[in-house]
Amino acid sequence: MSKSAKLVVNAIGRAVPTEVNGKPAIPYKGVGKHKPDGRKLGPRIASCVDFPEDGNKLVSSLREALIKSGLKDGMTISTHHHFRNGDLIAVQIFDIAKELGLKNLVWFPSASFECHAPLTKYLEDGTIHHIEGSMNGQLGRFTSEGKMKGVGVLRSHGGRYQAVQDGEVEIDIAVIAAPTADFFGNANGVDGPAACGLLGFALADSQYADKVIVVTDNLVTFPCVPWQIQGNYVDYVVKVEQVGIPSKIVSGTTEITKSPDRLLLAEMTARFCEHAGIIRDGFSFQAGAGGTALSIGIYFAEMLRAKGMKARFARGGSNKYLVNMLEEGLVDYILDGQTFDLEGVKSMRENPNHVNTSPFTSYNYHGKGNFASMLDVVILGATEVDVNFNANVVTHSDGLLLHGIGGWQNCLFAKCTILPVPLFRDRIPVIRDEVTTLCGPGELIDVIVTERGIAINPLRTDLIDRVKDSGLPVKTIRQLKAEAEKICGVPAKQKFEKEIVAVVKWVDGTVLDTVYKVSS
Amino acid sequence: MSNAGFAGNKGDKDRSDCFVGLELASSGGIRLSVKSKVKSLYGGTIEKLCHEVLAFFDVNNAIVTVEDKGALPFVMAARLEAAIKRVIRTEKEFLPELLKENQYETARDRHRFSRLYLPGNTPSLMINAGIHKPEAVILDLEDAVSVDKKNEARFLVRNTLRALDFMGAERMVRINQLPAGLNDLDCIIPHHVNVVLIPKCEDAHQIHEVNNHILAIYSRMKVRPAVWLMPIVESALGIVNVFEIARAADNVIAVAIGLEDYTADLGVGRTPEGTESLFARSMLVNACKAAGVQPIDSVFSDVGDMEGLRKNVLQSKALGFEGMGCIHPRQIKIIQDGFAPGDQEIDKAKRIVMAFMEATRKGLGVVSLGTKMIDAPVVKRAQRTIDLAISLGTLNKNWKDTFNAEEQA
């Protein structure tokens, strides 16, 4: 297919293609504007008579399971990322595909990590045509350099669920790495030597994929409870030596920062929430991945303790700090989408108030509501923000794809969205005239907290009012930009090639922005 | 002089810095190669700056390589100048603009609770120092800079004093031990430094030497902003002479103690309880109070131990110290909170001062609070606490207007 398809300007002023990887694509229309009607995609009908009556779906190897599932050229294979950087299965799938001489597969992970860097060789030799999910680290660089055959598609966690429901992505084979499972395919993430907490990101895959393979290293006698994944969706079960490395769940973006500058940002953010009246008895919050955002919990905990208050619920990614708050009684429930460390895994296993959730409950655009918009405040990271509060979370100012969207876009629907970001990183100003890649519309982004001042979106006159006598350093976003440029200099505009390497989808499946090949 | 020079840092962990290599040639013009992580945004301005600095020093033929990790322009200029001055002799200085925000003098008796030490050759630690709001920053040319980096650090500290905004913190520089430290003065006095720290000070003569050198530099300057001195006493001999040091000159505003060197000089270990330095610390506090300058305590070197620091600050305050150095931004708030008067202390002081005023109004010779008699020095101390709280903004200067209402509520 042509990588320089016809472009149109979408509702937020970005030029986007109307066709991606040979399929038609709808340009972004605005927040809440795209509401398709009709019916969701139905999964294929299965009949229980085609499956063993004794419930035993074990096959001898992943290779056999893939062959039995009918793996062939051009298929879409999905995996989940609950092991984060400790995933051992995704690369194996494509090793097998390569041995079988297959071509043009599509990888549909819920996120990618540095451990997936070996897949670049299969992108190079054509085993994999393109990735729909996230392109991090080396995979991001590879994509940005225009080396991937197809166009990458970046989606949020909620957007991934929507894409499956809308039939935008039809999963041929879902491979679900499960820390514990029985021979029927019931599976969970809380038990076993490789416990990773939950399996929510694989839920849609289990329900909608044509074929579902559960891979586990901890096979238990039926029934495996709790069954986070129901065996009734599963075709084959494979027992392997090791399914994932739980110690590698913790990655740089899921650890609390030790940097005094970032801790100050977190503290300022918490103080903003206090003055804005967000922190009150029964409030709810979510902190995204990224050391600064995760550190907010420390300050929220201090404030709640001092005021004798507690939060009703916090949305995870959970880590040990959130777990401590739960155990100390500073929050009633953790509604968790993924566990960021082993304390989170343990808590989910043992504490009934630490509840596992999925993108369906938390983020889904085609659900009858979701949790994300109910949150009082969400604190997220960003690589860039522009003077209209639009933000970027996937590329850096040098244009390279480095991160996935994760739940970031979905979280923007919270009652208050705060991005704590340094004013500049090693001379690179974070506030720009225009973001390199637009991932979130400014109308949903309320507050930018930097170490040198706080900018509130002019649309949020209520917040501006509430903090006006707080003594917090409130400035306009243009003042902050000028301050950074006084220190760093005015950056030149980044140059790109014409070639499209990826598109960024909005939560409703429309195309929000285009990622271009970096200039060599 | 060799015809090749270099300056700066390029280790894996170095950020906001650059490394400059320069080799003079006899022909061929300037052959510049820049490797930079911010090249796509600042490649053009980096090249422009390099050519500007080279031309300023009349370097016309050279091979120049810059390995940049996001150095701000004033940092890069300092690195270029340091590399150039390794290969040519010149009196010229390539000075970045002196920010308006940096042209302030500081009051002799301002608070100096926390002073954040910043290694003089590490730009990444300097750039955001101001956001943590220490009362002062110390650009350190002495112990934090290795011998082979002393020279390039001078240019960096000079440019930092001119071009980096520390957001109102008092700008201090710790020079090297005399006599080498005298040369450091040339690159800081003309650039609006507020306080010079004189390390390992042992007698009043050293203060005079520094002041004489400053006067000589002043004679070449049109505007002469005030420069205060803070000697650091770090030896047994220094402690014996501390009173003379404290009153050696009008511009001495404080004396600090350095306990690592002091305990080494005694030949004893430094303990958490600090019994071994109790004499020295008490002596220093006493001498400072007698001379009317601020006594400043040594740094607390375990940056992970916040509880230990908190205890240390309270002990220090109890001995009479009025401030302390810090080596990590996280220590600042604990030190400030420790030295500032607490709510209970302020409340008590308010009651004492009001009781005194009441007694004076009634013409009573004796001041009493409840059943306790209050002596004049106690009133004086309470008034100092009140003054301190007002200047810190923790107490309204019209507190007396609301005092009775509060008491009755």
DSSP string, A150-217: S-EEE--HHHHHHHHHTTSS--SEEEEEESEE-TT--EESSSSTT--S--GGGHHHHHH-SEEEEEES
Tell me the pLDDT tens digit for each residue of B19-72: 999 999 999 999 999 999 999 999 999 999 999 999 999 999 999 999 999 999
Pick the closest to residue B290 from B259, B255, B338, B314 (CA basis): B255
B72–A427 CB contact, under 8 Å: yes
Structure token digits, residue B371: 């059943």
Residue of B nearest to A483 (CA): B165
Query: What integer is the mean pLDDT of B372-381?
Result: 83
Q: How far apart are the first and last CA of chain A?
A: 22
The number of folded domains in chain B is 3
- The pLDDT, as a whole number, for residue B409 is 47
Tell me the pLDDT tens digit for each residue of A319-352: 888 999 999 999 999 999 998 888 999 999 999 9
The least confident of A428-442, B6-20, B178-192, B356-370 is B356-370
Whether residue B93 lies inside any domain: the answer is no
Size of interface A-B (CB pairs under 8 A): 60
Whether residue B65 lies inside any domain: the answer is yes
Q: In the beta sheet, which residues pair with residue A188?
A: A180
- The contact set of A with B (CB < 8 A) is 260-261, 263-264, 397-399, 425-428, 451-452, 487-489, 491-492, 494-495, 519
Query: What integer is the mean pLDDT of B183-190?
Result: 96
| 3-state helix vs strand vs coil in chain A, percent to 5 | 30, 25, 45
Query: Rounded to an integer, what distance in angstroms lies between the CA atom of residue B364 and that of residue B356?
Result: 9
Q: Which residue has the tokens 């400030």?
A: B336
Tell me the pLDDT tens digit for each residue of B294-344: 999 999 988 889 999 999 999 999 999 999 999 999 999 999 999 998 888
Structure token digits, residue A367: 């659900």
Do residues B59 and B155 both lie within one domain? Answer: no
8-state DSSP, B373: E
Whether residue B95 lies inside any domain: the answer is no
Which chain B residues touch A263 with a CB distance below 8 Å?
Answer: 330
Whether residue B291 lies inside any domain: the answer is yes
Q: Quickly state the pLDDT bin for B366 (edges 50, 70, 90).
A: confident
Query: What integer is the mean pLDDT of A387-394?
Result: 97
Residue of B nearest to A491 (CA): B41
User: In this structure, are residues A412 and A366 in contact, taking their beta carbons and an 8 Å threshold?
Assistant: no
What's the CATH code of the domain at B148?
3.20.20.60
Mean pLDDT of chain A: 94
* CATH, domain range A48-248: 3.40.1080.10
Domains A48-248 and A252-489 share a fold: yes
Pick the closest to residue A402 from A116, A79, A139, A152 (CA basis): A139
The beta strands (E) that lie in B291-400 are given as 294-296, 324-326, 367-369, 372-374
Residue of B nearest to A520 (CA): B40
8-state DSSP, B256: E
- The pLDDT, as a whole number, for residue A1 is 44
Query: Rounded to an integer, what distance in angstroms lies between the CA atom of residue A392 and that of residue A430?
Result: 10
Cα of B347 to nearest chain A Cα, Å: 21
Whether residue B284 lies inside any domain: the answer is yes
- The pLDDT, as a whole number, for residue B405 is 58
Which chain B residues touch A488 with a CB distance below 8 Å?
Answer: 42, 72
The answer to whether residue B66 neighbours chain A at the CB level (below 8 Å) is no
A260–B41 CB contact, under 8 Å: no
Whether residue B128 lies inside any domain: the answer is yes
Tell me the pLDDT tens digit for each residue of A179-193: 999 999 999 999 999
- The pLDDT, as a whole number, for residue A252 is 54
Do residues B164 and B284 both lie within one domain? Answer: yes
A426–B15 CB contact, under 8 Å: yes
**Burial of A197 (C-beta count, 10 Å sphere; 0-12/13-18/19+):** buried
Whether residue B38 lies inside any domain: the answer is yes
Tell me the pLDDT tens digit for each residue of B59-68: 999 999 999 9
Which chain A residues touch B42 with a CB distance below 8 Å?
Answer: 427, 488-489, 491-492
Quote the percentage of chain A above a pLDDT of 70: 98
Q: What is the DSSP string of A341-398?
A: SHHHHHHHHH-TTEEE--HHHHH-TTSSS-GGGG-SEEE---SEEETTS-EESSB-TT
Do residues B282 and B310 both lie within one domain? Answer: yes
Buried residues in A362-371 as b, exposed as e (16+ CB within 10 A) = bbbbbbeebb
Q: How far is CA A431 from CA A22, A385, A406, in A?
A: 35, 5, 22
Tell me yes or no: is domain A252-489 CATH 3.40.1080.10: yes
Tell me the pLDDT tens digit for each residue of B251-273: 999 999 999 999 999 999 998 88
Is the pLDDT at A3 greater than 70, yes or no?
A: no
B 290-329 residues with CB < 8 A to A: 328-329
B38–A428 CB contact, under 8 Å: yes
The least confident of A37-41, B59-63, B229-233, B289-293 is A37-41
Is the pLDDT at A112 greater than 90, yes or no?
A: yes
- The pLDDT, as a whole number, for residue A340 is 86
Do residues B130 and B249 both lie within one domain? Answer: yes
User: In this structure, are residues B41 and A425 in contact, taking their beta carbons and an 8 Å threshold?
Assistant: no
For an interface test with A, the pick among B131, B160, B162 (most A C-beta atoms closer than 10 Å) comes out as B131
Which chain B residues touch A260 with a CB distance below 8 Å?
Answer: 132, 328-330
Whether residue B91 lies inside any domain: the answer is no
Query: What integer is the mean pLDDT of A420-443?
Result: 96
**B72 → closest Cβ in A397, A451, A487:** A487
B42–A495 CB contact, under 8 Å: no
A492–B329 CB contact, under 8 Å: no
Query: What integer is the mean pLDDT of A200-213?
Result: 97
A489–B16 CB contact, under 8 Å: no
Do residues B325 and B364 both lie within one domain? Answer: no
For an interface test with B, the pick among A267, A427, A451 (most B C-beta atoms closer than 10 Å) comes out as A427
What Rg value do the Cα atoms of chain B yield, rounded?
25
Rounded to two decimals, the pTM is 0.92
Do residues B39 and B65 both lie within one domain? Answer: yes
Residue of A nearest to B327 (CA): A260
Domain boundaries, chain A: 48-248, 252-489
- The pLDDT, as a whole number, for residue A341 is 86
B330–A260 CB contact, under 8 Å: yes
Q: Quickly state the pLDDT bin for B212 (edges 50, 70, 90).
A: very high
B329–A260 CB contact, under 8 Å: yes
Tell me the pLDDT tens digit for each residue of A295-315: 888 899 999 999 999 999 999
B16–A488 CB contact, under 8 Å: no
Do residues B329 and B354 both lie within one domain? Answer: no
A261–B37 CB contact, under 8 Å: no
Do residues B126 and B168 both lie within one domain? Answer: yes
Is the pLDDT at A2 greater than 70, yes or no?
A: no
B40–A399 CB contact, under 8 Å: yes
Quote the percentage of chain B above a pLDDT of 70: 99
Mean pLDDT of chain B: 93
What's the CATH code of the domain at B76?
3.30.230
User: In this structure, are residues A409 and A158 in contact, taking their beta carbons and an 8 Å threshold?
Assistant: yes
The answer to whether residue B72 neighbours chain A at the CB level (below 8 Å) is yes
Which chain B residues touch A397 with a CB distance below 8 Å?
Answer: 40-41
Residues spanned by the domain of B373: 343-408
